[in-house]
Amino acid sequence: MPKFQGDWRCEMKMTLDDLAIFGGDSAFQEPLHVGRPNLGDRDLLLMRVNDMLDRRWLSNNGPFVQEFEQRISDMMGVKNCIAMCNGTVALEIAIRSLELKGEVIVPSFTFVATAHALQWQKITPVFCDIDPKTHTIDPSCIEKMITPRTSGIIGVHLWGRPCDIASLEKIAASHNLKLLFDAAHGFGCSYKNKMIGSFGDAEVFSFHPTKFFNTCEGGAIVTNDDALADKIRLMKNFGFSGYDNVIYIGTNGKMNEFSALMGLTNLESLDKFIAVNHENYKSYERELRGLAGVKLIVYDQREKCNYQYVLLEIDESITELSRDQIIDILRAENVLARRYFYPGCHKMEPYRSHFPQAGLVLPETEKLAKRVCSLPTGTAVGPDEIKKICRIMQIAVTSAPEIRERLSGQSANKSNDSRSRYLPIGGLNYEKDTISPL
């Protein structure tokens, strides 16, 4: 049985038999999730809750929402912020207010909400490949996808790393297309030293609990276009312009007062959240350095960054273990690593039925979707947990041939047993649960 050298504490795993997937105790008693919410000062939060209750003003452009919108505008250096009930509805309203129609070019490598926000309004998402270096939409692939039906481009600042905004602006201007950014991951990040939030015709944030900054549920559209902002304000409130006067078709996209006060409170701790994320990122970088076939994504040190995603690219041809095998090993240890954003929107319904050949023009998306693995970070983990997680990865990768052999023995033995013994941790059957049709 191989032994492993290095600096580990007493609970550190040392041999293959220590791995939970082969019968050892799980490294963590409680699951370590990707996307645990960052929470600000509880006393301040409760004081604001009391204010809200005293005022009995719970929604409909209340004082906390107004204060929240002003704070975000000031932070981003953008003229208008319209707070919303979540990022998906914010995307839908942004798309509608920009009068996008026909076809819109989007990356397939994103959370499915980006594509759904279009499809929901009977607009065809045309999936574009990504630049493998940045994971964001590849501007050099866009022009050949433009048709007479194309009305816009949506770039996604994935993992908080900005798109190649300058190139996208150039393409949009030369083809008279609208440019919208899904900035769900981009809160607190910058591009060329300007905060994300003021680019394109509009940008959309998500403030979901899994995001670096949350308002329970929430989102916002930010834009420097005053006329567009007026339209968005109407649309998110049924089209009401004063009592009894509806001047536009609208929906209910309003943020409520609790979300806004949660946001105001969390905003006061942003620097702390970033510092923790950054320290965690540096710990992962240190602990994984030199591990062949495992690459941690890099953030541009010249820019502001929220370090919310500790994302690995696993090159199976070097690790000799697939990304999924490594995730299985981690999950057995209660480290609930995720495959964001496998398998790519084009392989989810309804898109895979609409465009069964889409993969042919998405080679980088398909390659990356098989490699990514997102690890826990945020205020719920620290250096000790990270050391343990990385130790598990080291054992896995340095003993790949033996692990593969044991895993294939296990799956042979499992043929009479419908569920793996470590599945109850997440209960996830990847292929079945993640791409089952509607």
Q: Which residues sit at the interface with ligand T4K, rule CB under 6 A? A: 33-37, 86-88, 110-111, 113-114, 156, 182, 184-185, 206, 208-210, 219, 336, 340
**Helical H segments across 56-86, by residue range:** 63-76
CB 221 to ligand T4K: min, Å: 12
**Residue 329 to residue 325: CA distance in whole angstroms:** 6
DSSP states of 280-320: HHHHHHHHHTT-TTEEE----TTS------EEEEE-HHHHS
**DSSP letter, residue 212:** S
Contact 223, 199 (CB under 8 A): no
**Identity of the amino acid at 220:** A
Measured from the CB atom, the residue of 184 and 276 that comes closer to ligand T4K is 184
Smallest separation (angstroms) from ligand T4K to the CB of 175? 24
Q: Which among 372, 243, 212 is positioned nearest to 308, based on CA atoms?
A: 212
CA quadruple 356, 361, 366, 372: dihedral, nearest 10: -130
From the CB of 214, what's the least distance to ligand T4K, in Å?
A: 8
- Closest separation between CB of residue 294 and ligand T4K, Å? 21
16 vs 85 by CB, closer to ligand T4K: 85
Cα separation, 436 vs 415, whole angstroms: 22
In one-letter notation, the amino acid at residue 190 is: S
E strands of 183-279, at which residues?
Answer: 190-191, 194-195, 202-206, 219-223
When the beta carbons of 171 and 216 are compared against ligand T4K, the nearer one is 216
Q: Which of 383, 413, 343 is nearest to 23 (CA)?
A: 413
CB of 347 closer than 8 Å to CB of 357: no
Our CB check for ligand T4K shows the closer of 226 and 433 to be 433
Give the nearer residue to ligand T4K in terms of CB position, either 281 or 340.
340
Q: Which is nearer to ligand T4K, 188 or 219 (CB)?
A: 219
Strands (E), 85-177: 103-107, 124-128, 150-156
- Residue 165 Cβ, how far from ligand T4K at the closest point, in Å? 16
Q: Which is nearer to ligand T4K, 172 or 336 (CB)?
A: 336
Identity of the residue, 33 or 231, whose beta carbon is nearer to ligand T4K in the bound complex: 33
Beta carbon of residue 269, minimum distance to ligand T4K (angstroms, whole number):
17
| CB closest to ligand T4K, residue no | 87
Q: Is the Cβ of residue 117 or residue 291 nearer to ligand T4K in the bound state? A: 117
Measuring CA to CA, which residue among 122, 136, 126 is closest to residue 92? 122
395: tokens are 């054992």
Minimum CB distance to ligand T4K, residue 9 (Å) = 26
Amino acid identity for residue 112 in this structure: V
Rounded Cα distance, 269 and 264, in Å: 9
List CB contacts of 38: < 8 A, sequence separation 6 or more: 212, 213, 214, 266, 269, 273, 276, 378, 379
Least distance from ligand T4K to the Cβ atom of residue 431, Å: 16
**Shortest separation between residue 217's beta carbon and ligand T4K, angstroms:** 6
